[in-house]
Amino acid sequence: MSSGGHGRWTLFAHQGTGRLAKRGGAALLVAGLLTGAVAAARGETSIPPPDRAEAPDLAVLDLTITGLRDGNGTVFLAIYDRPETFPEPQGMRTRLRAEVTGGSVSVTVPDLPPGRYAVAAFHDQNGNGAFDRGLFGVPLEGFGFTRDASVFPVGPAFDDAAVTVAPPRTQARVRMRYGL
């Protein structure tokens, strides 16, 4: 992969733990963790929401994305509800996008069954729909996780990023980081 490219990264998951193995350093790790958010930007498949008749006590998750470097671009979010699929694109429960208009963005996720959810996000500053990386895969755009989960040494596990969502509403925050 070229140093300035923005192709897909492969995840190296420890089976059943939702954690990633160290392969090529922290920059590769962050890029791999955000594969789900990149898939959200591309409109790839997610797990469909439950039928409203099956889940009468649905909740709303109010997300605030803070620390945005500038007021340009789009924030892409991938929401997960299963530790074994975090943060793989095929494991997303849902995906969202929000246009950036200032230093923070608010996103409302309706109709979630009560439970634990982890969110991965990136700030697509230049509007190309990709999580851009530079030399050695170092992020050129902002990224973040709920609960400000750390990406070191092997990236956040689902439990590090998960928030408990309960009716009627739950609030959570994702702080954008720029660089490692």
Domain ranges of the chain: 26-175
The whole-number pLDDT of residue 139 equals 86
Smallest CA-to-CA distance from 65 within 158, 157, 143 is with 143
Supply 86's token pair. Answer: 């975090």
Each residue of 38-94: pLDDT tens digit? 555 555 444 455 554 455 699 999 999 999 998 999 999 999 999 999 988 889 999
* Per-residue pLDDT tens digits for 127-180: 999 989 888 888 899 999 999 998 877 778 999 999 999 999 999 999 999 977
Sheet containing strand 105-112, edge to edge, reads: 105-112, 59-66, 169-175
User: Using 50, 70 and 90 to split pLDDT, how confident is the model at 15?
Assistant: very low
Position 4 pLDDT exceeds 70: no
Backbone φ and ψ for 142, nearest 5 degrees, come out as -70, 155
* Homologous superfamily, domain 26-175: Carboxypeptidase-like, regulatory domain (2.60.40.1120)
pLDDT over 80 at 101, yes or no:
yes
pLDDT value of position 7: 28
How much is the pTM?
Answer: 0.72
pLDDT, position 51: 52
